[in-house]
A and B are shown apart, each in its own frame.
Chain A
Amino acid sequence: MEITVREAGTVMVLDLKGRLDLASGSRLKEEVKKIFENDNTQIHLNMSEVEFINSSGLGSLVSIMKEVRLLKGRFTLSNLANYVEEIFEITQLSHIFEVFPTEQEAISSFQAISSN
């Protein structure tokens, strides 16, 4: 899996490309850990190019979510493929994560909260 990190205002955006499984899930958690070390806890994952996810990949997302909550930050997802969305529904994780149709909508929601 390719993981690219970029800034969108105060939000750190990670673009994921490929399969999110056991090995790549660990790499993703390491990338997010580096972001935490730079005192940033506003994180968004653009999953438009995630072609496969399994329960290990889901576990890595849950792990990140738990860390973000502990740090009083925010963690959002966007651009889920239909297949990935279906897995979220089956595992009932769609109720736990903040999922947006597009990255722009997710980033706007961060800005809306910070301006309130």
Chain B
Amino acid sequence: MSEYNLKYRSIPDSEEQMLDDLDEIIVKNRILEKTAGKLRIVVSEAFTNAYLHGNCKDAGKSIKIQMQVNKNQIFADIIDEGTGGLIKVQKRKTPEPMAENGRGINLIYHYSSDVRFWENDLGHFIVSITIDREEAMEINS
């Protein structure tokens, strides 16, 4: 199993760096494109959520990603340093067709095999994502 601990400043440009780092992990672990596409979107959505709603665009705060990759599954925790993120997710409404935001959580649910939204002892919001690797399912079937 491979483990990764990544940390980013809470600024808009960090998302590009995070996606570059994710692509490196994808190549190193020979994750097939179908699985990689799911991983990119769910981590990106959780990351954006952390930047906008958890850390409230505060550049002094960080976003951490803790990942574990094994031959069957990928686990990722996306952790912000804000407070009240869980309530924001629980209170979210289905976006109107012409809304400019509010689609991220739905995409996380759609592309994850499992997802959990929770808070640690510090009140920091954590999105814990599991993605089953398509390549493992093909071998096992």
Taking a contact as CB atoms under 8 Å apart, the answer to whether A62 and B100 are in contact is yes
Which candidate, A7-15, A39-47, A72-80, A89-97, is the interface stretch facing chain B?
A89-97
B interface: dominant SS:
helix
Taking a contact as CB atoms under 8 Å apart, the answer to whether A22 and B103 are in contact is no
Taking a contact as CB atoms under 8 Å apart, the answer to whether A19 and B16 are in contact is yes
Answer whether residue B121 sits at the interface, using C-beta atoms and an 8 A cutoff: no
The contact of A26 among B12, B37, B48, B52, by CB within 8 Å, is: B12
Using CB atoms, name the residue of chain A closest to B41: A54
* Chain B nearest CB, measured from A81 CB (Å): 10
Taking a contact as CB atoms under 8 Å apart, the answer to whether A62 and B45 are in contact is no
Q: Given A21-B15, A22-B15, A26-B12, verify A59-B100 contact (CB < 8 Å).
A: yes
Answer whether residue B32 sits at the interface, using C-beta atoms and an 8 A cutoff: no
0 or 1 for each of A53-83: is its CB under 8 Å from B? (1 = yes)? 0111011101101100000000000000001
Answer whether residue A3 sits at the interface, using C-beta atoms and an 8 A cutoff: no
A residues contacting the other copy or chain, number (CB 8 A):
24
Q: B residues bordering A, Cβ < 8 Å? A: 12-13, 15-16, 19, 37, 40-41, 44-45, 48, 51-52, 97-104, 106-107, 110
With A54-B44, A55-B101 known, 20 other A-B pairs at CB within 8 A are A19-B16, A21-B16, A21-B19, A21-B48, A22-B15, A22-B48, A22-B51, A52-B41, A52-B44, A54-B41, A54-B48, A54-B107, A55-B48, A55-B102, A58-B103, A59-B99, A60-B100, A90-B106, A93-B97, A96-B97
Q: List 8 A-B contacts (CB under 8 A).
A: A26-B12, A52-B19, A55-B101, A56-B101, A58-B103, A62-B99, A87-B41, A87-B107
